[in-house]
Amino acid sequence: MKNTTRSTVRPSQPIIEWQERYASSLGVQAYVYGFPWIYLSFLRWLWTTPGGYALQELRWLGTKPEKRKKQKFPWAPINSFFNAHHTATPDNATGGSPNPNLLYSVAWLDLGPEPIVLHVPEITDRYYCMQMVSLDSDNFAYVGTYATGTAAGDYLIAGPGWTGKVKKGVQDVLPRSRTPAALIFGRTKVKARDQSDLLLARSIQRRYRLTPLSDWPKLRPRRAHTKIKPHAFLNPRETSEGAWIEMNRAMEENPPGVPPGIDQSELLRLFATVGVGPGQSWLDQSPATKKGLAEGAREGLELLAEMAKGRGKTVRHWTFPPNYLGRSGQNSDFITRAAVQALAGIAAHDARQAVYVNTAFDCTGAQLAPESKYKITFGKNDFPAFDETYHGYWSLTLYQAPGYNLVNKSEHYTVSSDDPVNDDGGMVIYMQQDEPKAQLPTGEYWLQSPPSDPNITGIYLLLRVYVPGPEVWYTQTWLPPEIVPQH
C-alpha cells in the first residue's frame, strides 16, 4: 500500500535570485500592510493570557514595592476591563505615548461567539470616551461624551456580519467591527493635580461593564478565554519567520477586507504570491522566498520606525496628522496605519474626537535636544480651540525616544488647559533639564528634558486637543506655538 503521509523532511532547494528579489520587494509592502495584525495580536496575547501575564511579571522583577503597587500593567481576561487606577507616569514604561491627564480602561473583546454589551454610567462632569478598534488598528465606533452624550446606556458591540436579535434595552447603534477581535481604549479625564478628582474618576471606571449578550442584563463571573494560542514570537518588532507565521495566523482568524471594511481582495491575492495572508503558509515557501521575505520585513520595520515620527501637514515645524488618522487603512493609507497608528500608538483617535499635533523640532527647524533650553509662549488668544460643551480640553506633554515614554524620573512632563494662566491670560513654558526658577509664578510651567544619555535618541512634544475646533481638526489653520531656543 502506498504511503500517502506527507513527509516533514523537505529536500534542499537552491536560492533562485529572482524569487528572492521579488519576495523582498513585495515583502516590504506586505509587512507594512500586515504589521497591525502582528503587533495587536501580540498585545492581545500579552494583555489577556497567562503566558502574557507571566512575561509582564518578569519585567517587574527588582522593582521597588511602592512603585509596583502604583503601576500595574494592563491585563484582564477577554471581554473584561482592566482599569488603570493611576494616571500615566514615567514609571509606566509601556510606550505608545501615554496620556498623563486621564485614566485608561482597556479591554480585548472576542466578538466571534456573540456580541458584547457595553454599559456606561451617566457622566456629566468630564470628558470620557470608549474608542473601539478592530485588529487592523482602525477605529470602528465610539461611545462617549462627544459621540453618544452624557446619559447612561447599554450599547451592542458586534462582529462582522452579525444580524441576530437584540434584547430590549440594548442600543444597536454602533457600526460593526471589521474583525472578531476588537480592542476598547477607554479614557476618563482627570483634572490636573487634583487627588480628589482622581478618586471620582476611579468611581466612574468601576461602573463600566462588559457583558455577553446572552447573559445581559445579569452579571456572571468573568469568562476566561481559551482560544488564544501561544504566540509565535515574544518581540512585536521581530522580523524573523515568527512574524510572518503570526501575521498569517492572525489574518486567518481576523480576515482583512471583510464588510463593513473596504474591499482588499486584490492586495491579498498579490501578497499570496509570496505566501502572505489568510490561508497562506510560511513553511510551504521556497528558500528564496523565505530569504526575500526576511529581508523585506527588516526593511519594512526600518521604514515604519522612520515613518512613525509623523506624517501630515507641517505648520511651524509641528505636524498635523492626516484628517483620516484613526481610519487610515479604510482610506488605503497602510503606511500611516502601520507606523503612526499601530507602531507609535497602537491606535489613533478620529480627528473629530481628538487631534494630536506633534513636533521634534524647534522654530529654526533644528531637532530638539535634551541638553538645550527652549521657551514656549501662549498668548491669550493662541491656545487651541476645543468645544467646552463636550468637556473638551488640551494638553502638552514631553516624551523621550525610543519607546515613546514619559521622561524618566521626572515630575514635570505635562501642562494642560486645567492649569492656571497668567495675568495676561496666557502661559509661558520652559523646556530644559534644570528647573528654570526656584518657584515659578502663576501661568509659568516647566517641562523637564531628560539628562544626556546615549540610550535616549531624542525628545518630542505631543499637543493633544480633545473635541477640537474645526481650525484644529478640519482646516488645520490653527498656529501651534513656536519653540524658541534660549541661549
Query: pLDDT tens track of the chain, all 487 residues?
Result: 444 444 444 445 556 889 999 999 999 999 999 999 999 999 999 999 888 888 887 776 655 555 555 556 789 999 999 999 988 888 766 677 889 999 999 999 999 999 999 999 999 999 999 999 999 999 999 999 999 999 999 999 999 999 999 999 999 999 999 999 999 999 999 987 677 899 999 999 999 999 999 999 986 655 545 467 666 555 655 667 888 999 999 999 999 999 999 999 999 999 999 999 999 998 899 999 999 999 999 999 999 988 887 678 999 999 999 999 999 999 999 999 999 999 988 999 999 999 999 999 999 999 999 999 999 999 999 999 999 999 999 999 999 987 778 998 899 999 999 999 999 999 999 999 999 988 899 999 999 999 988 888 889 999 999 999 999 999 999 999 999 999 8
- In angstroms, the CA 40 to CA 342 distance is 8
Residue among 109, 133, 91, 95 at smallest CA distance from 348 = 133
- In angstroms, the CA 408 to CA 400 distance is 8
Residues of the chain with CATH 2.60.120.600: 313-486
pLDDT for 194? 73
CA distances for 135 relative to 159, 357, 381, 403, angstroms: 11, 25, 40, 22
Under 8 Å between Cβ of 351 and 474 = yes
Residue 177 corresponds to which cell in the numbers above? 467591527
* CA 53 to centroid of chain Cα atoms: 20
- Omega before 259 cis (within 30°)? no
Residue among 390, 389, 391, 384 at smallest CA distance from 469 = 384
Residue among 174, 86, 147 at smallest CA distance from 391 = 147
Residue among 394, 395, 406 at smallest CA distance from 459 = 406
Please name the residues in contact with 311: beta carbons below 8 A apart, sequence gap of 6 or more: 319, 321, 322, 335, 336, 339, 340
Under 8 Å between Cβ of 308 and 342 = no
Residues of the chain with CATH 1.10.3360: 17-45+228-307
Residue among 263, 354, 290 at smallest CA distance from 20 = 290
Give the count of beta carbons closer than 10 Å to the beta carbon of residue 259: 10
Report phi then psi at 393, rounded to 5: -165, 175
- In angstroms, the CA 132 to CA 173 distance is 13
- In angstroms, the CA 297 to CA 230 distance is 22
Report phi then psi at 231, rounded to 5: -75, 150
- In angstroms, the CA 468 to CA 395 distance is 12
Identify the CATH number of the domain defined by range 17-45+228-307. Answer: 1.10.3360
pLDDT for 403? 72
Fold of 50-212: Immunoglobulin-like (2.60.40)
Report phi then psi at 170, rounded to 5: -100, 130
- Select the CATH number that applies to the domain covering 313-486 from these four: 1.10.3080.10, 2.60.120.600, 3.30.1450.10, 3.60.20.10: 2.60.120.600
Residues of the chain with CATH 2.60.40.1610: 50-212
